[in-house]
Chains A and B, each alone.
Chain A
Amino acid sequence: MRKSLLGNAAFVALGLVLAFMPLSGYEEGIVALLCINCIAAMGVSLLTGFTGIFSLGHAAYMALGAYTAAIMTVRYGVHWLPAIVAGGIIAVLVAWLIGMPTLRLTGDYYAIASIGLGEAIRLILENWQSFTRGARGFPGIDSYTNRAVSVGFFTVLGIGMFNLIYSRLGRELKASRDDRVAASLMGFHTPASRMKALLISAFYCGIAGALLGGYMNFIQPSMFDMMKSTELTAVVVFGGLGSMSGTLLGSAAITSVMEYFRDISQYRMLIYGLLLVVIMVLRPEGLLGDRELWAFVPSLRGGVKRSEAREGGEGR
């Protein structure tokens, strides 16, 4: 309990620092973008790192969030806050539809289905000219995502995510990740567990997409292609599967590196691909493995083995 409060307080402090630290306009933009990327990465991390489901279509949920928020604010004059939340909800609904048939299967079915879903959503957005303005994109979105909004969403969703993994849901998801049969025979309906993870991750990606729309003022279907989905998953793997703080570190690292190499985009992608292979070969467990950052701090660890840090509530 004490550690939970401590963790939540630390997160709020991080949020306050990010929101009020004096920065140049350019740096403020980077912080906002970083927070958006972190929100999406946390969603994917819950699904891939904690539940063991591999997705190659989560950019589609970002697209759904982005277009929902954009259309609601621009066409119907809805306030940006409910529009962003609606973006998350639409993503959840679609995730539920796609999850129903695919999450009952194991293996790479969800991965392939998620490619299909991702492509299908992109194609619909491209072809539904009258509603989405098609492939040329959707301009004129209000810049409602300033640094404060972005950091605010990040803080709230971050606290929620860490609280979730340090509660019964966290243990449930890890159980169905580690041994589906054992989990079933402990009374977990594993398809339902996987569904919970998918819906939550879709919500996070939907929100991130909606924020991205307000940040860029312009969205187009090609921003949410399979490359973007790959990037989301790669960030999570880079940070360490099963480590939420690792995901945040990984996201921060990759966002910075991508920003740094923005000018040489061809080589950037080549380096990025090579990096993925090299990480998988040399350090597949990622930056932090399946440990959280505070597991490396002896005073928080309480002098016991590493697994202590991942136990409900106490590890924080």
Chain B
Amino acid sequence: MVNGVQFSTLFQQIINGLSLGSVYALIAVGYSLVYSILSFSNFAHGGFLVVGGYICYGLLMGKGFNIWIASLGALVGAGFVAALTERLAYKPIRERTSMTLYLLIASMGVSIVIENLFVIVVGGRFRALPQNTFPSALFSLGGNVTVSAFDIFSLVIAVTFLGGLQLFLSRTRWGLAIRAAACDLRTAGLMGVNVSLLIAIVFFVAGLLAAVGGIFLSVRYTLYPQLGGITTKAFVAAVIGGLGSLPGAVVGSLILGLAEMLTAGFISSQMRDLVVFSMLVIMLLVKPAGFFGKQIGDKI
């Protein structure tokens, strides 16, 4: 019987972990996408997630729209905010200097601005999306194994969006241009790609994916201005997978989600963050460039 209980916990935590990991993946992929094009860590990425969360909440609770329209608004809104951030804050810097450090610091500034703007405008309270927004029933898979419909639902949606991104990158003209720019932005520009528009599209897509993650996270953990801080874990996932690699970001996120949930299920819930950061340190010790990252080939 003990084994049975353990097995059901294991199974449940694996589903939970995959679900959480797939949400991380949505965030990490957007972050990696930006990194692969501009090679800087956009720390405002967490802000886009919060923007998405609040737009969804506002449309749902304030304006009484249904969840689908609210979500759509959140996705588009966050994508728009991301592209706007790029245009207002990053583009002038990019045009002036090639030092990515300045972009990094500007992105931290943006992140602080977004967070505190929400603190001032809507307040620091925790806000919960209504219970019935998403399927939330628990259903049994026989024996003691129960799974929450929300976990399955967010897993499915996340996979759908990741698949959509994959299709976008591999099948469309802009997708091809983005992949070319990830190899070499300057050359892509010389080949006639409209770099400005391309970067705007990349930010829009990144913001959109972050908003999907933001909606799921605000159901899971409630919504508050500092929710963006959770992107730290997505950054960690991207590093574990290999900075700038999209498959790496997905794999890293799933590993991280599983590790977190298995720790929560079998050790203690308090240890889960510690496990995440220990994994980062161990990974950097063992395979510093991550699973899919470029290994350093030269001897410098």
Contact = CB atoms under 8 A, between A and B. Distances in A.
Interface of A: 48, 52, 54, 98, 100-102, 104-105, 107-109, 111-113, 115-117, 119-120, 123-124, 127, 180-181, 184-185, 190, 226, 230, 233-234, 237, 241, 266-267, 269-270, 272-277, 280-281, 284
A127 B96 contact: no
Contact of A104 (B40, B89, B238, B296): B296
Nearest to B117: A270
A230 B108 contact: yes
Contact of B300 (A98, A184, A280): A184
Contacts of A241: 101
A276 to B, nearest CB: 3
B116 A266 contact: yes
B300 A284 contact: no
26 contacts: A100-B285, A102-B284, A102-B288, A104-B296, A109-B239, A112-B280, A113-B239, A113-B281, A117-B277, A123-B273, A123-B274, A124-B274, A226-B232, A237-B101, A237-B105, A269-B115, A270-B117, A273-B116, A276-B108, A276-B112, A277-B106, A280-B89, A280-B93, A280-B102, A280-B103, A281-B106
A131 to B, nearest CB: 15
B281 A277 contact: no
Given A112-B239, A276-B109, A280-B106, 11 more contacts: A101-B281, A108-B104, A119-B232, A119-B273, A120-B274, A120-B278, A124-B274, A234-B105, A270-B113, A276-B106, A284-B102
Contacts of B41: 108, 111-112
B40 A108 contact: yes
Contact of A269 (B110, B112, B277, B289): B112
A277 B235 CA distance: 21
Contacts of B93: 280-281, 284
Interface string B228-269: 010010011011000100000000000000000000000000
A105 B289 contact: yes
B2 interface: no
Given A273-B116, A284-B96, A284-B99, A107 B39 contact: yes
B274 A277 contact: no
Interface in B7-22: none
Across the A-B interface, the 3 shortest Cβ-Cβ residue pairs: A276-B109, A273-B112, A120-B277
Contact of B108 (A100, A234, A267): A234
B69 interface: no
Contacts of A101: 281, 284-285, 288
B220 to A, nearest CB: 19
The residue in B99, B103, B106, B270 that gathers the most chain A C-beta atoms within 10 A of its C-beta is: B106
Contact of B109 (A52, A105, A275): A275
B288 A115 contact: no
Nearest to A52: B101
B40 A127 contact: no
Nearest to A280: B106
B106 A272 contact: no
B247 to A, nearest CB: 18
